[in-house]
Chain A
Amino acid sequence: MPEDKSEVLQGTLDLMVLKTLEALGPLHGYGIARRIEQISEDLFRLNEGTVYASLLRLSQKGWISSKWGASENNRKARFYSLTKAGRKQLSHETANWERVASVIGRLLQVAPQR
């Protein structure tokens, strides 16, 4: 299963997608990719296709829903938005992430003892 190999990365991407949808409201896949690119300031490169895999995962779990609409240049596009369950999951994941990050941060700051 491909999921096993990149569990952390996938989870991170899912979290980023959820957060993006929370910050910007309903958005299409291209918009999400742009937002992640902008925030990460090129520190973080990703195959934009993987956004779509993440979007499928999240909709299967019922955390996001999607609707067809017109994009800025008047093309048909699928807009994704956060569901109530997704919002709850996001706050849960955010808290989780912060806890893990702070533990790892502290761990890395401890000077080696001689």
Chain B
Amino acid sequence: MLSLRILLSRIRAMFEHAKADRELDAEVQSHLDLLAKRFIRQGMSAEEARYKARRQFGGVTQLKEELHERRGFPYVETLWRDVRYAFRQLRNAPAFSSAAVLTLALGIGTNIAVFAVVDAVVFRPLPYPEANRLVAFASWVTRGTPHPDHLSYPNFFDFRSGNQVFEHFVSYRDEEFSVSGRGEAIHVDGEIVSWDLFPVLQVQPELGRGFLSSEETPGTHVAVLSHELWQSYFGGDPAVIGQGATINGRTFTIVGVAPRDFHFPAESPSVQLWTTLAEDAAAPEPYHPLTEQRGARILDVIARLKHGVTVDQARAQMDSIAAALATQYPGENKNHASTYILPELERVVGDSRQSMFVLLAAVFVLLLIACANIANLVMARSVEREREVAVRAAMGASRANVVRQLLMEGLALGFLGSLAGLLLAFACLRIFLPLAGDSIPRISLAAVDRRVLAFSITLALFTSILFSLLPALQAAKVDLVRSLKEGARGITGGGERFRSVLVSGQITLGLMLLCAAGFLIAAFLQLERRDLGFRSDHVLTFNLDLPQGQYNAATGIRFSDELLKRLRALPGVQSAAAGWPLPMQGDQVTISFDMEERRAGPSDRPRSDMAIVTPGYFRTLGIPLLEGRDFTERDDRQAPPVLVVNQAFADKFFHGEHALGKRIEPGATNGGDGTKLHEIIGVVGNAKQSPGGMAPDPIYYFPFKQLSWGLGSIVLRTAVSPRSEESAARAVVASLDRQVPVYQVRTMEELSGKAIANLVF
């Protein structure tokens, strides 16, 4: 307590040193005067009195020194003097200082920016309470290359009711919704989840409630809105709870609003709406509802381990359930006899972890190079300063003094460099984060926060010491006599050796970075230059939502016929078609099929990507027709079932034989009418379906009128700049139905460019 008070008074005194000194002077002077006057009154001469007063007072200077020291902190003052001296030295050598500070700023700035990103992506815990008990669950496929797979609803229900290891076991899958009823219809991303999504995350909705277990019953339509959607579309009105909203053409009851900044899945901030799996429990005739299709693997699962249950214990129990299901349903589950569990955070971070650490290592190497560079500069300067150091040593500065002074200069440099680096990091994050898009989960959370600041301070200290300690020790070893002699130049042999180590280290690191960068650029160019198999120029694409409640298969086909007809009639549009999924979009749909010539059981059938397209799709995208014919408007439900395949498909499954005229029986159906043999009527070129990989993926195309799963994306080939057709196309859609939202309007070049950007990042 007492020592604290002394400390405080000393700290205060540090800032009032000059004033305190002046005051003491006045006090002492007045004391001496009074004393002298007294002696004069006793009869002494003025001179004698002054002398005696001084004698009686004692050493004035000693007193001042003593009190001065006792008032403040002498160490701090020396330090402060060193700091000021260091900055003065840097100011006196502007070329050296600015070079060093700029180099450091580059090194430290990139490190800070990358650390901010890595911190947000990899290290930050999930934003839910007790998130360490949250795990992701999947089936484990043992056939071929083992890999995790999604769950189907029937399997999910069996896992959910059969386990005793999870508090909650929740399915979710992406779905897109159109919300209308309050002005323009809008398109939002959403999730279809089992009822206990909010309990599993231990999150309370901000308004209203989460779902009830009874709300999984078919025919229930309930939704929880995100805070953002509630604000933007529903005007932030608390009265929406319990009210109806039009979603996908049906009336849903809004039961809750999620808290601000709540995101689920954690990596998808675009999700604005959650509803229960009752959505999937109903299907228009003749389809089977998804909840009854054991082979329809579309679900992700998040689960919360019970207290005290380990991942291994959970996996053991889930594996035994999976094995039992495989025996019970061999047709669907033969290859899914075990399970896969990993912490939810790891699932969210996913593959990014590795690339993040590679990036971190790369910028760290960059920083080391920067340090080596600066150390070199400092060494070069210490040659010039050898005489100065020698003079200081001759005047009594100890070796520690000299080292301290040089270290201080290093710290001053480090401080300035970090400051500049911090600014650079701010700028980097501001500029580059939007470019990364949504390819890396949680990257948008990256910001310069307290942790990042702490990191930068550590980095500044580390680098300063790194680049100044060795040169400082070197410099302190100067040979006094030799250095003071005029004309004596150059530092000792040890210094030369140190410098050459520095230089070679620098070159090695530099080469490493250069190679890595070269590989990256080469890979990027290869991706760019690769033949996509279609012409991405002059193509506009957009998506639309046909509200399911208002359109069935037949009316959907009528709508698309009319829409494509009107689009083709637009000036500047050469052709129009629809297809799903588009090349390079990143979506892939894989379905197994049975070949007429080589029949196989359900689990052993070959699989391939598929797509559903309208007539004119290949011409619109510039995919060449190699053999046979394109689909026509007459390839509908009444006509014999047909397919078009790409060259890779023909090569892989027909081994050079003519694929044309062969018949296969795909698992994809319109529902009640069962699978049918389809005849291959055409072979087209290999269009790049997935953005990654170099080998073309085999794919087979269905005509939209024979497999009406939904309209997919519209593609327009234009004679003019594709963007200029956007407003005309929107007007055409609105003229058909105002309640159909148009979204994701992009040129094909943007789409493929984005896909490549995702790969590169």
Residues of A that sit less than 8 Å from B by CB: 2, 28-30, 33, 47-50, 52-53, 56-57, 59-62, 71, 73, 75-78
Contact = CB atoms under 8 A, between A and B. Distances in A.
Given A30-B35, A48-B35, A78-B23, A53 B10 contact: no
Contacts of A29: 27, 31
Interface in B32-77: 33-35, 56-60, 62-63, 66-67, 70-71
A72 to B, nearest CB: 9
Contact of B30 (A56, A62, A71): A71
Given A48-B56, A53-B66, A61-B6, 18 more contacts: A30-B31, A33-B31, A47-B56, A47-B59, A49-B28, A49-B62, A49-B63, A50-B63, A53-B63, A53-B70, A57-B70, A60-B5, A61-B2, A62-B9, A71-B30, A75-B30, A75-B33, A76-B30
Contacts of A71: 30, 34
B71 A56 contact: yes
Contacts of B57: 47-49
A56 B70 contact: yes
B394 interface: no
A47 B58 contact: yes
Contacts of B62: 49
B30 A52 contact: no
Contacts of B5: 60-62
B298 interface: no
Nearest to B55: A47
28 contacts: A30-B30, A30-B31, A33-B31, A47-B58, A49-B60, A49-B62, A49-B63, A50-B58, A50-B63, A52-B24, A52-B28, A52-B67, A53-B63, A56-B71, A57-B70, A59-B9, A60-B5, A60-B6, A60-B9, A60-B10, A61-B2, A62-B2, A62-B5, A62-B9, A75-B30, A76-B26, A76-B30, A78-B23
Nearest to B70: A56
B56 A77 contact: no
A52 B63 contact: yes
Contacts of B9: 59-60, 62
Contacts of A48: 31, 35, 56-58
Contacts of B60: 49
B26 A30 contact: no
Q: Is the interface of B mostly helix, strand, loop or mixed?
A: helix
B702 to A, nearest CB: 90
What 3 A-B pairs are tightest by C-beta distance, nearest first? A47-B58, A49-B58, A49-B63
Q: Is the interface of A mostly helix, strand, loop or mixed?
A: helix
A48 B35 CA distance: 10
A53 to B, nearest CB: 6
Nearest to A75: B30
Contacts of B67: 52-53, 56
Interface size class of B (residues with CB under 8 A): 20 to 34
A53 B63 CA distance: 7
Which of A28, A56, A59 lies at the interface centre, i.e. has the most chain B CB atoms within 10 A of its CB? A56
B66 A2 contact: yes
Interface of B: 2, 5-6, 9-10, 23-24, 26-28, 30-31, 33-35, 56-60, 62-63, 66-67, 70-71
Nearest to B1: A62
Contacts of A78: 23, 27
A30 B63 contact: no
A38 to B, nearest CB: 12
A77 B67 CA distance: 18
Nearest to B5: A62
A59 B10 CA distance: 11
A84 to B, nearest CB: 14
A78 B30 CA distance: 10
A52 B66 CA distance: 10
A53 B66 CA distance: 8
Contacts of A56: 67, 70-71
B30 A77 contact: yes
B72 to A, nearest CB: 11
Nearest to A48: B57
B758 to A, nearest CB: 66
A59 B13 CA distance: 12
A33 B30 CA distance: 13
A17 B24 CA distance: 18
Contacts of A33: 31
B20 to A, nearest CB: 9
Nearest to A62: B5
Given A47-B58, A59-B9, A61-B2, A52 B35 contact: no
Contacts of A30: 30-31, 34-35
Contacts of B27: 28-29, 52, 77-78
Contacts of B56: 47-48
A50 B31 CA distance: 12
A64 to B, nearest CB: 12
Contacts of B63: 49-50, 52-53
Contacts of A61: 2, 5-6
A49 B67 CA distance: 11
A71 B59 CA distance: 24
A61 B5 CA distance: 6
A77 B23 CA distance: 9
Nearest to A50: B58
A67 B56 CA distance: 25
A50 B63 CA distance: 7
A47 B60 CA distance: 10
A49 B24 CA distance: 11
Nearest to B59: A49
Nearest to B33: A75
Nearest to B66: A53
A32 to B, nearest CB: 10
A70 B374 CA distance: 60
Contacts of A2: 66
A67 B27 CA distance: 12
A62 B2 CA distance: 8
Contacts of A76: 26, 30
B395 to A, nearest CB: 27
Contacts of B30: 28, 30, 71, 75-77
A78 B29 CA distance: 12
A75 B28 CA distance: 12
Nearest to B63: A49
B19 to A, nearest CB: 12
A66 B401 CA distance: 39
A62 B12 CA distance: 14
A77 B27 CA distance: 6
